[in-house]
Amino acid sequence: MNDSRPIRAKSGTNHEGTSAHNRRVMIDALRINGALSRADLARATRLTKQTVSNIIEELERDGLVSSQEAVRRGRGQPSTPYGLVPEGAFAIGLQIDRHVTRAVAVDLVGSVLVRDEAGLPPGGPSNGTKVILDLVAGIRSKLAGIVQQSEKRLVGLGAAMPGPFGVAGSGDDPWMMEAWQKFPLLETLTAGTGLDVGLQNDAAAAATAERMVGAAHGIDHAVCLFVGYGIGAGLILNGELYRGTNGNAGEIGMALLFADGKSTPLEHRASLASLYQHLSVDPADPGLYARINDLALRGDQSIDAWVEAAAVDLRWSIHLIETLFDPQTVILCGSAPEALVNRLIAAIGPLLPSIAERRGRTLPRLQPGMADPWSVALGAAAGPISRAFDPRFAAILKDSL
């Protein structure tokens, strides 16, 4: 009796020179679905059984997958499922924000093994670079202390910080980290760590975290509306993170809102920075996250006033996102406390009419994602894992030209 359960997987290809793509397709299928047999993998990826067997053997030799206890289904021969080995690869994720830097180490399936944070001193890169490099070194040392030979399986360092990148600013915009954006961060991190380093904006990193272990896991088309110090949108299109020409895709916080003849960027009205201004609090206060969460839980009038105003702008933003990208769902996530995210979602409803209003929807138009100050660092760590192991159809298209 064959197992006919639906399996989510991308298609492999039997063209010559595409074995690397097929490896990535197999790893991706195991990440999304969990353990699968060779027959399951062949059916889902449309690869031949011999190709699947060859790749499984190769991945086993590389320590990336392992066999599990055989399972008997019906009267047929028992099948052996294969699953990812969490210790098969590791990556480090780094978040650089205005007042704090956070770093995590994750394994192949996205489990956080080590994490730490440090305050960033004033003065930008000239004073903060050493703090960041010391933080990353500490994470690597702690990881090596709990996992033998972790350095040999460390696939890279992912860094995330607020965007936009390569955009001229006034130099005094509190929503931008212009000094850091002009600083040769990739070169500095590469030289200081000896690792392969990638950089993305914080909204894209949050979307990567949602795709790997959060609400966007297994979803091909989703937009993650990130509410942090600023606002951004991480775009997951056709199962891949879309970056745009300059890595600035989804910088919805820069969208201008017009009222009374004046224009104001969205993030000046509906971001955590705008909330901090509304409450007249210090963004560098280490206890601010817990304090705002407590105020939101208690229904504080000042919090509610900001939520009501921000919800109007976020409701419009979701309508725009649905109209432009036709996603399966919009995920509200970010470094805001969970209680605040829940109040925002409640206040945003009902959503504006849009093309997303369809009968038979299996996912809500809007749903909560991670509300965690560590989500950006987690997504940054998922970046190197993605670069090393996720399918890249653009590469296949280039190979076939």
Q: Over the stretch 220-248, which tens digit does the pLDDT of each residue have?
A: 999 999 999 899 999 999 888 898 888 88
Q: Is the pLDDT of residue 5 over 90?
A: no
- What pLDDT score was predicted for residue 170? 47
- 225: which strand partners? 233, 332
In the predicted structure, residue 292 carries a pLDDT above the cut 90: yes
Q: Which among 370, 383, 367 is positioned nearest to 328, based on CA atoms?
A: 367
- Tell whether 170 and 238 lie within a shared domain: no
Cis peptide before 164 (omega within 30 of 0): yes
Task: Confirm whether 28 is domain-assigned.
Answer: yes
Are 367 and 221 members of one domain?
Answer: yes
Query: Which pair of structure tokens corresponds to residue 306?
Result: 């900001």
The enclosing domain of 313 has a CATH number of 3.30.420.40
Torsion angles phi and psi, residue 206, rounded to 5: -60, -40
Question: What's residue 11's pLDDT?
Answer: 55
pLDDT above 90 for 309: yes
Cβ-proximal residues to 263 (8 Å cutoff; 6+ apart), any chain: 256, 257
Query: Please, are residues 315 and 323 in contact by the beta-carbon 8 Å criterion?
Result: no
Q: Taking residues 62-85, report their average pLDDT.
A: 84
In the chain, how many domains are there? 3
Where residue 28 falls among pLDDT bands split at 50, 70, 90? confident
Which position has the higher pLDDT, 178 or 381? 381
Which residue matches tokens 């839980």? 297
Under DSSP, the state recorded for 266 is T
Average pLDDT, the chain: 88
368 and 222 both lie in a single domain: yes
Percent of the chain with pLDDT over 90: 63
Q: 288, 282 in Cβ contact below 8 A?
A: yes
Per-residue pLDDT, averaged over 188-193, amounts to 96
Q: Residue-wise over 191-230: b if at least 16 C-beta within 10 A, else e? A: ebbebebbbbbbbbbbbbbbbbbbbbeebeebbbbbbbbb
pLDDT of res. 167: 72
| Nearest Cα to Cα of residue 271 among 319, 331, 207, 314 | 314
Residues 104 and 225 in one domain: no
- Same-domain check for residues 102 and 183: yes
Q: Are residues 69 and 133 in the same domain?
A: no
As a whole number, mean pLDDT of residues 110-120 equals 94
Q: Given the DSSP bridges, would you call strands 231-237 and 222-227 parallel, antiparallel or unpaired? A: antiparallel
- pLDDT exceeds 70 at position 306: yes
Q: 190-194, 236-240, 275-279, 290-294: lowest mean pLDDT where?
A: 236-240
> Do 150 and 238 share a structural domain?
no
28 and 124 belong to one structural domain: no
Q: Looking at the domain assignment, is residue 396 inside a domain? A: no
CB of 346 closer than 8 Å to CB of 339: no
Q: What are phi and psi of 368, to 5 degrees?
A: -75, 145
Find where tokens 């210090």 sit: 282
pLDDT band at residue 1 under the 50/70/90 scheme: very low
Domain, as residue range, for 229? 217-372
On whether both 26 and 62 belong to a single domain, the answer is: yes
Determine, yes or no, domain membership for 400.
no
Whether residue 141 lies inside any domain: the answer is yes
- 1-5, 100-104, 262-266, range with the lowest pLDDT: 1-5
Q: Does 127 fall in a domain?
A: yes
pLDDT of residue 261: 83
Provide, rounded to the nearest whole percent, the portion of the chain with pLDDT above 70: 90
Higher local confidence (pLDDT), 20 or 323: 323
Same domain, 336 and 256: yes
Stretch 113-123: mean pLDDT, rounded? 93
pLDDT at 181: 84
The model's confidence at residue 88, banded by pLDDT at 50, 70 and 90, is very high
Whether residue 350 has a cis bond before it, omega within 30° of 0: yes
Query: Is residue 398's pLDDT more than 50?
Result: no
Q: Same structural domain for residues 106 and 183?
A: yes
Q: Within its chain, how far is the Cα of 70 from the centroid? A: 34
Last residue of a domain, one of 84, 106, 124: 84
Confidence band for 182, pLDDT divided at 50, 70 and 90: confident
- Whether the predicted pLDDT of 72 surpasses 50: yes
